[in-house]
Amino acid sequence: MVDQTKSSATFAASASRRASRLLSIGLTASLAPLLACSGSNTKEIAPLEYMCETSSARAPSVDGSACGAGDPNLDGMEPKFPTDVCMTLSATRFASDSSPPNEDKQDTDAIQQALVTCHGRAVKLVANGNNNAFIASHLTVDGTTLWIDAGVTLYASRNPDLYQKTGSCGVMGVNDSGACTDFITIQGTSPAIMGDGVIDGQGGEPLIGHDYSWWQLSYALRETDGSLGNPTLINSASKTTGAVLYRITLHNSPKFHVKLTSTLPPGVTCDRRGQGFTVWGVTVLTPSKWMNSQGLVLTPGFARNTDGIDPGTTSIATCGLMACNTVSTGDDHIAIKGGHWVSDVTIAHNHFGTGHGMSIGSETYGSYADPITKEVHRGVENVDIYDLTIDADSRPVGAEAQAADFNGIRVKSDESRGGVVRNITYRDVCMRDMTNAILISTAYNPLFAGSYYPQFGAMEFHDIHHVSCLGLRQPVMTVNGFNSVLRAGPITLDNVYVDNTGPQSASAQFANVILGPGEVNFGDSLVSLSQRPLPAGGGQGLTVTDNRDPANPGTPKHCVFPTLPAPHPPAGWTW
């Protein structure tokens, strides 16, 4: 199956390259008569250029070197497998992609007892001959390491009765976000889930006793923006410290894949990120196959609310490191949730495929009072994001794909959940074929009302390049503060290029924007917007400081996109 995935992904990339070459040739040819007829005083019409350079290297390393090598921020930070394995459990059943594992007998009790017995040490799940699967319903990893070996899959049970909290878990049409317990809860000091195996939430497979899946339950509420309480695959409890996820692969969560929280001990300051939590070398691929066992086609859009990694959803999250991960899913790749204060997070050397973007929000209203200093912290602050690729061209998303399926960098909130976002830095980011290349929005859901107003402060964007391959949509850049008092910014744009922009590609209001010193190829549009009065005479509420240096404009960041994991095609299919 690995070879099939690789060949499928490689074929998709080569097909995109072929299509882009044809588009480029066609567009250049169609423009040729116009160029030939243009007068000497007419500015030449530049042909659109399509950039489809995909590396043959597998993610997360583009050049074959160890991920993070040479990065002083990550020196010595990669987790290690434990040398002390307290207990080894051998698989007793076989499972494949073609059908869900049999649930006549579960492994929940055996795994949980081992985790309790081996507190502070490691429990390892291993294959046994052809037997390669475990099935469980709810597990708690408390200060212990759960090690899932290569070739082994831990499946989440499809029986909703085993996750019941309110009586609504698994019930169609009920808007109840707290209906179900989680599949795995991590808690305590230094809990870890690691290994080269797989955890599969079976979100697209029919539930026991029903003819619908977790995803169908959620999708049924899509039109009303309802929130169903499907199980989270991995959720960390409040006051968890030093959690680690390492090299594990996550498939098909019923809802969010990972919710993270972290609290440092009283009096301890964050001197190096990773003290609170570390997520390193994790792969999220959802859906992991094209069809479920009923023959239903699975798409990322169908896998609603399947965020990849979300710090701050359950409680505060501080001093975190997310490095060398690969995420393709049906919702946000990473969403920093500020409903509980989130601070001091590094997100480095990651690769994203299908999904809703590198997001902050939509909740940003959280606050936290330090129990010793009494200092009050708010929202989301001190986040460094660098060496990131976001590739919407990586795999098919289905005919029902919406604009949100092609977000790049996104900061989102509204007056029902707004608060502080500040000291956010993006560096060395490559994006391909986005609808929203950069989206800073204080009206995430304009239908929601309240008095939690978004307060978006300093954000910096350095060496950002959005490229086009298929170029089916013109990318958009949006920078919107809340009002003339709560203006966004300063927003610094330095050496930021978005290919194939047009006169309507940039939108901004109620913001303070600084351009330069490197070129911003849509900067003139922002300057023009700042000078345009509204009918009421109030202007756009936009201030632009143009510090671009014409003598040293810089060059667009060179972008190479790694071949990403892709869903397994049905047996015998070629494409």
Residue 185 is assigned to a structural domain of this protein: yes
Q: What is the pLDDT of residue 405?
A: 78
> Average pLDDT for residues 536-544, to the nearest whole number?
73
> What's the CA dihedral at 201, 202, 203, 208 to 10 degrees?
-120
CA neighbor of 334 nearest in space, from 311, 305, 354: 311
- Interacting residues of 384 by C-beta distance below 8 A, sequence separation 6+: 345, 346, 347, 348, 425, 427
Q: Where on the phi/psi map is residue 160: left (φ > 0), alpha (ψ -120 to 50), or beta?
A: alpha
What band does 444 get if pLDDT is binned at 50, 70 and 90? confident
Cα separation, 360 vs 336, whole angstroms: 5
- Provide the residue range defining the domain that includes 136: 81-331
Q: What is the pLDDT of residue 573?
A: 67
> What's the CA dihedral at 101, 106, 108, 113 to 10 degrees?
-130
Cα separation, 74 vs 5, whole angstroms: 30
- Residues marked active site are found at 331, 356
Structure pTM?
Answer: 0.89
Q: What is the pLDDT of residue 394?
A: 54
What band does 511 get if pLDDT is binned at 50, 70 and 90? very high
Tally of CB atoms within 10 A around 266: 9
Among 25-34, 194-203, 294-303, 444-453, the least confident range: 25-34
What band does 396 get if pLDDT is binned at 50, 70 and 90? low
pLDDT digits (tens, 9 = 90+) for 39-53: 334 445 445 556 676
> Average pLDDT for residues 528-534, to the nearest whole number?
82
Question: What backbone phi and psi angles, to 5 degrees, belong to 40?
Answer: -65, -25
Residue 278 is assigned to a structural domain of this protein: yes
Q: How many domains does the chain have?
A: 1
Question: What backbone phi and psi angles, to 5 degrees, belong to 365?
Answer: -95, 0
- Is the pLDDT reported for residue 116 higher than 90? yes
What band does 12 get if pLDDT is binned at 50, 70 and 90? very low
Percent of the chain clearing pLDDT 70 (strictly above): 85
Q: What is the pLDDT of residue 523?
A: 95
- Is the pLDDT reported for residue 510 higher than 70? yes
Question: What backbone phi and psi angles, to 5 degrees, belong to 166?
Answer: -115, -5
CA neighbor of 340 nearest in space, from 314, 309, 310, 375: 314
Report residue 442 as tokens: 């204080």
- Is the pLDDT reported for residue 392 higher than 60? yes
Residue 543 is assigned to a structural domain of this protein: no
The residue assigned the tokens 């809703």 is: 356
Q: What is the pLDDT of residue 325?
A: 97
Let me know if 464 is exposed, middle or buried by CB neighbors in 10 A (0-12, 13-18, 19+). buried
Q: What is the pLDDT of residue 55?
A: 65
Q: What is the pLDDT of residue 61?
A: 45
| CATH code of the domain in which 282 resides | 2.160.20.10
Cα separation, 330 vs 303, whole angstroms: 5
What band does 16 get if pLDDT is binned at 50, 70 and 90? very low
Cα separation, 428 vs 59, whole angstroms: 17
- Is the pLDDT reported for residue 32 higher than 60? no
Q: What is the pLDDT of residue 206?
A: 97
Q: What is the pLDDT of residue 56?
A: 56
Residue 359 is assigned to a structural domain of this protein: no
- Is the pLDDT reported for residue 517 higher than 80? yes
End-to-end CA distance of the chain: give it in Å, rounded: 15
Residue 23 is assigned to a structural domain of this protein: no
Q: What is the pLDDT of residue 536?
A: 54
Q: What is the pLDDT of residue 376?
A: 93
> Average pLDDT for residues 422-431, to the nearest whole number?
98
pLDDT digits (tens, 9 = 90+) for 559-575: 988 888 888 777 776 65
- Is the pLDDT reported for residue 292 higher than 70? yes
pLDDT digits (tens, 9 = 90+) for 263-272: 998 888 899 9
> Average pLDDT for residues 540-567, to the nearest whole number?
90
Among 24-28, 229-233, 278-282, the least confident range: 24-28
Percent of the chain clearing pLDDT 90 (strictly above): 67
The residue assigned the tokens 């498939």 is: 251
